[in-house]
Amino acid sequence: MPDAEANRRLLSGWGRTSPSAAVVHTAVDGDDAVKAASSPPPRGVIARGLGRSYNDAAQNAGGLVVDLTGHSHFLSFDPASGIVRAGAGVSIADLIEVCLPHGWFPPVTPGTRHVTVGGAIAADVHGKNHHGDGSLARFVDSITLWTPATGVIEVGPDAEPEIFWATTGGLGLTGIVLDATIRMRRVESSRMTVDIDRAADLDAVMALMTEGDDDYLYSVAWIDCQAVGGSLGRSVLTRGRHALVSELEPGDRRTALAVSPVRAVPAPPWVPSGLVNRLTVGAFNELWFRKDPPRARGVVQDHGWFFYPLDLVSGWNRMYGTRGFVQYQCVVPFGAEDALRGAIERLTRSHAASFLAVLKRFGPGTPGPLSFPSAGWTLALDFAVGPRHLAGLLDELDVRVTEAGGRCYLAKDGRADPALVPVWYPRLAEWREVQRRLDPAGVLTSDLERRLDLLGRGGPRS
């Protein structure tokens, strides 16, 4: 590649930790991506979308990174059936913008709309509807995938299911997703009707969720990880569904399918490390806990606010300062509530300031060997990098989660012990077999893969 040096860039994940340098090829379309990936440098290739993985999943130090965001074309969209075939670089925001005016919404969406279809498949993302609907892979009819061994192929739950399931949640290591066919969700309006409950403690919120989640399409609880004693785990539970036209104010009915503007206030360009600390998080938590009434029913919210409150501040990841932050997300099976309680108690005691602590119930997982969600409770936390006890604390959480039969989300992990991965994902060996068939020469790799030795090449590599 003659332009290699000119296109060398430092890349990091959304957490802004562990940057590494790679040659970035910005593909204009699928053919261009395939061409670039077909002659990889010695340190291999990985695809990248909008860089929203918190960790090093879309980095490839010293190698090639194929940026698919230029492949943001809609190949087809049928407004009657809601089936859309979108280039890998199409974002959730693009899907909403194109499909929502016709009454179709993404079937699964993570907490930001700035993720690409390719990245969402590679992470097998989940949303607030996982308890009833499962992860994104459940709504994908087919994927156009390039792999080193097969070239471009079509895979789906019925065609080459092994490859399909290895690719959903496969962290980009089975090949490059070029486009995908997704079944969208029929909605009458772009608004949400939302019920809000404040829960005094962890047991209360878990009871509310266990009893009531099935009545809601979407459900998620925000936990105050600094509340101690009797208030341990005090929470705000937000549950909702897409509003019917009849539920809107008469004046809003004409614009029932209006798309929330993707407008955002920029975060300051530089923030000192340490701004997100116990005091600021404590103050925020108090405000957040009190911002809604203790109990509200049928509140109409805009989908932008309901799903993507963080998108309102562009570059919010900079708020954690120059050293960045890590996201920790685990799941423990139903029945291991004690382990979850123990973990939250431990966190609270450690005084580690987690700005965002989110609790949700997962439904059953998919057949994807590396897909993260599985039936149980999932807890997601953010931590600013810096406090010296953080590494030990997270290792301790890993032990609790592992002993409870749970696991962590590889698309977010930035620091796990590689030895835990085969325990968390017992079908790793099976996945590696499929992976090796698609990539016998070992061309596909990433910083995440090297760090955790996901491909099983005899240990972590530099």
Partner 1 sequence: MRDALGAVQRVLVLGGGSDIGQAIAARLAAPRRAAIVLAGRSVAAGDLASRTGSDVAVEWFDARAVGEHRSTLDDLWAAHGGFDVVVVAFGVQFDQADAEASPARALEMAETNYLGAVSALLECSRLLRAQGHGAIVVLSSVAAERPRRSLFAYASTKAGVDSFALGLADALRPDGVHVLVVRPGFVRTKLTAHLKPPPGPLATTPDAVADVVARGLERGARVVWAPPAMRWIMSLLRHLPHAVFSRLPI
Site for partner 1, rule CB under 8 A: 8, 10, 15, 17-22, 43, 55-56, 60-63, 322-324, 326, 385, 390-391, 394, 414-415, 417-418, 447, 450-451, 459-462
DSSP readout, 156-221?
-SSSSHHHHHHHTTSTT-S-EEEEEEEEPEE-S-SEEEEEEEEESSHHHHHHHHHHHGGG-SEEEE
Nearer to partner 1, 376 or 414 (CB): 414
Sign of CA pseudo-dihedral 425, 428, 429, 430 = positive
Tell the smallest beta-carbon distance from residue 352 to partner 1 (Å): 12
Q: What whole-number distance in Å separates Cα of residue 86 and Cα of residue 299?
A: 33
- CB-nearer residue toward partner 1: 18 or 112: 18
Name the DSSP letter for residue 246: G
CB of 16 to partner 1, least distance (A): 9
Please report, for residues 50, 67, 93, the alpha-carbon distance to residue 26 in angstroms, rounded to integers and kept in the order given. Answer: 12, 5, 20
Q: Are 162 and 172 in contact (CB under 8 A)?
A: no
Which uninterrupted H or E stretch holds 302?
strand 295-302
Closest separation between CB of residue 62 and partner 1, Å? Answer: 3
Residue closer to partner 1 (CB basis): 136 or 394:
394
Phi/psi at 15 (nearest 5 deg)?
Answer: -75, -10
Choice between 59 and 348, CB closer to partner 1: 59
Q: Which is nearer to partner 1, 380 or 394 (CB)?
A: 394
Smallest distance, partner 1 to C-beta of residue 462, A: 3
**Which residue lies nearer to partner 1 by CB, 19 or 342?**
19
Least distance from C-beta 234 to partner 1, angstroms?
29
72-81: long-range contacts (C-beta < 8 A, 24 or more apart)? 72/116, 73/29, 74/98, 75/179, 77/102, 79/103, 79/104
Q: How far is the CB of 18 from partner 1 (least distance, A)?
A: 6
